[in-house]
Amino acid sequence: MPATPSVAASSSWRDDEGTRMPSGDVHAWWPGQNQTLCGVQLSRARLARFPGVLWIDAVWVAETDADAPVMGLCRRCTAATRPKKDRPSRLARRRPG
């Protein structure tokens, strides 16, 4: 399994070289599974798979390239791909008294 998930998206576009690229609602997805990291079923949501496009690349393009087509990165998938050390810690629940 690769170190970073691939991309599944609601639509696509072709770059100057004719390569199919993701656009629209973009989710993180592990190849070989039928759901995204946030739990959305690929077939029911009609998401196209992009096994050659890594999630980290989609995040980078969305943040840096103003000419890229509109990509809405899933917040839940973004949170699921964040390393545990970078996630906010949960407060321990304590009993009063």
What global pTM score does this model have?
Answer: 0.77
Q: What is the mean pLDDT of the chain?
A: 83
pLDDT in tens, 20-54: 888 889 999 999 899 999 999 999 999 999 999 99
Place of tokens 């599944």: 8
Q: How confident is the model at residue 15 (pLDDT cuts 50, 70, 90)?
A: confident
Residues 26 and 45: their CA atoms lie apart, in Å, by 12
* Per-residue pLDDT at 68 exceeds 90: no
Task: Say if CB 73 and CB 24 are below 8 A apart.
Answer: no
Label residue 2 by pLDDT band (50, 70, 90): low
